[in-house]
Amino acid sequence: MSHKMTRRGLIAGSIVGAAGFVGLEERILLAAMQEGDPNAIKPPPANEAKIPTGKLGNLTISRMIMGGNLIGGWAHARDLIYASKLFKAYNTEEKVFQTLRLGEQYGINTILIDVSQMDIVNKYKKLNDSKLQMIVSVKPPEENPIANIDVAADKGASTIYLHGAAGDTFVKQGHVDIISKTLEHIRKKGLQAGVGCHSVYVLQQCRDVKIEPDYWVKTFHHDKYWSAHPKDKREPFSVDVKQSDNHDEIHDNMFCLEPEETIEFFKTEKKPWIAFKTLAAGAITPKSGFKYAFENGADFITVGMFDFQIAEDTAAVREILEKTKERQRQWHS
């Protein structure tokens, strides 16, 4: 009796049958194949529940926000040198549009991006009659705190915040006044103004000098993953700046160096908090990272996703939010 052997079946058979040995890479590949063909991505059923929303001032925001890093090709890759090129090759304009459309179908109504990404998002919105909201980051130079704010506002930003690397730099250099001037100009444009950062010291310094953004955009993830380096080797303000050759020091592998201190800060903070890098750039599973973020005070999470990750990630968020009814920090709703 004959039967048709598919390419998928041939590969799967080869994986499990080769000398009776299945290694880690083979197990990962087999699991991915069993999940289904990523090219056959389907929108959710019409009756499927959408992601819950919360309030960011006068904006209604999905609790999960689409991250812009993958669209921009900015990949935190640790020591994988090809990741950014791979992301850019995969995310053609057509694929970006497919990803944004799929995200909206699953209930994501907001994307967090850099000013440089606004044109492609606006093109998508025009072609798809989309109302996707844009939380836009700016990185003003020290000599011009209002740089790019007018551009972002004119291109339709829903709200603007100071980019995390800029927030770190200004506090580290003792130029907290630039943060204040940036927020002031954003508000002059009639928009809410946020402060982003990787370091908990930015949160603390802004509080000490009475700088009050309308919301915070702060990295947040636990350190229970293999490439996280030891606490005694974590150097303040090293995220996105230092790349050590020492395996026990930072090398594009951690983005929230003080998770416990971040939790403590937000226990007494009433402003909304958007947590980013909740999966440590792909080192933490969605259920683990999302649960940790929401249970410990984050009001929203922003997550960079490929199209084939959206269904799984949104399902994880819905499940976790359903179970996270009580927590120490009050929800912004």
Ordered DSSP codes for 62-110: ESEEEESHHHHT----TT-TTHHHHHHHH--HHHHHHHHHHHHHTT--E
287 and 225, same structural domain? Answer: yes
137 and 30, same structural domain? Answer: no
- The CATH number covering residue 232 comes to 3.20.20.100
Domain span at residue 31 reads: 9-40
What pLDDT is recorded for position 328?
Answer: 85
Question: Is residue 167 a contact partner of residue 188, using CB atoms and an 8 Å limit?
Answer: no
Q: Does residue 203 belong to any structural domain of this protein? A: yes
144 and 14, same structural domain? Answer: no
Q: Does residue 126 belong to any structural domain of this protein? A: yes
Interval 14-25: pLDDT, tens: 555 554 556 666
* Residues ≥6 apart with Cβ < 8 Å to 322: none
Q: How far apart are CA 285 and CA 281, in angstroms?
A: 10
Percent of the chain with pLDDT over 90: 71
**pLDDT above 80: residue 55:** yes
141 and 26, same structural domain? Answer: no
| Banded pLDDT at 249 (limits 50, 70, 90) | very high
- Residues 64, 281, 192, CA angle at the centre, nearest 5°? 45
Where are the extended beta strands (E) located within the chain?
53-56, 59-62, 64-67, 110-114, 133-138, 159-162, 193-197, 215-219, 273-276, 300-303
Q: What is the mean pLDDT of residues 304-321?
A: 95
Q: How far apart are CA 5 and CA 275, in angstroms?
A: 47
Q: How far apart are CA 43 and CA 104, in angstroms?
A: 10
What pLDDT is recorded for position 42?
Answer: 77
| Banded pLDDT at 299 (limits 50, 70, 90) | very high
Cα–Cα separations (whole angstroms), residue 263 to 131, 148, 174, 266: 33, 31, 24, 5
Domain count for the chain, please give it: 2
201 and 70, same structural domain? Answer: yes
**pLDDT above 70: residue 311:** yes
60 and 29, same structural domain? Answer: no
**pLDDT above 90: residue 145:** no
Furthest-apart CA pair in the chain: how many Å?
80
Average pLDDT for the chain: 89
Task: Report residue 18 as tokens.
Answer: 């080769």
Where are the extended beta strands (E) located within 131-276?
133-138, 159-162, 193-197, 215-219, 273-276
291 and 213, same structural domain? Answer: yes
**pLDDT above 80: residue 240:** yes
**pLDDT above 80: residue 36:** no
CA 10 to chain CA centroid, Å, is 37
Interval 157-209: pLDDT, tens: 999 999 999 999 999 999 999 999 999 999 999 999 999 999 999 999 999 99
Q: Does residue 333 belong to any structural domain of this protein? A: no
| Banded pLDDT at 43 (limits 50, 70, 90) | confident
129 and 14, same structural domain? Answer: no
| Banded pLDDT at 77 (limits 50, 70, 90) | confident
Question: Is residue 289 a contact partner of residue 257, using CB atoms and an 8 Å limit?
Answer: no
Q: What is the mean pLDDT of residues 26-39?
A: 59
Question: Is residue 86 a contact partner of residue 109, using CB atoms and an 8 Å limit?
Answer: no
Q: Label residue 257 exposed, middle or buried (CB < 10 Å: 0-12, 13-18, 19+).
A: buried
What count of Cα atoms within 13 Å lies in the side-chain half-sphere of residue 292?
Answer: 23
What secondary structure letter does DSSP report for 194?
E
What pTM value is reported for the model? 0.89
Percent of the chain with pLDDT over 70: 88
Average the pLDDT over each of 119-128, 141-150, 167-176 and give the range with the smallest value: 141-150
285 and 195, same structural domain? Answer: yes
58 and 32, same structural domain? Answer: no
- Residues 174, 274, 109, CA angle at the centre, nearest 5°? 135
